[in-house]
Structure 1
Amino acid sequence: MVTAAAVVPDAETVMAALEVVNDPHVPSSLRRMGMVAGVEVAPDGGVRVRIRIPCMACPGTAMIRDGVHDAVAALPGVTAVKVVEAWEEPWTRDMVDPATRRLMHDNGIQI
Structure 2
Amino acid sequence: MVSTTAPELSVEDVLAALDSVNDPHIPASLANMGMLSDVEILDAGNVRVKVRIPCMACPGVGMLRERLEDALAAVPGVTSVEMVEDWSSPWDRELVAPPTRKLMAAHGIQL
- TM-score range relative to shorter protein: over 0.9
Alignment of structure 1 residues 64-83 onto 2, 5 Å: 64-83=64-83
Percent identity, aligned pairs only, is 54
What SS does the aligned partner of 2:7 have? coil
What SS does the aligned partner of 1:44 have? helix
Deviations 1:57-109 (A, max 9, x none): 11100111111111111100111111110010000000000000000001101
8 Å Cα contact 1:8/1:78 also seen in 2: no
What SS does the aligned partner of 1:20 have? coil
What SS does the aligned partner of 1:40 have? strand
Deviation at 1:43, TM superposition (A): 3.6
TM-score, reference length from structure 2: 0.95
Structure 2 unaligned blocks of 5 or more: none
Q: Which residue of 2 aligns with 1:28?
A: 28
Off by >6 Å, runs of 4+ in structure 1: none
Paired letter, 1:80: S
8 Å Cα contact 1:8/1:44 also seen in 2: no
TM-score, reference length from structure 1: 0.95
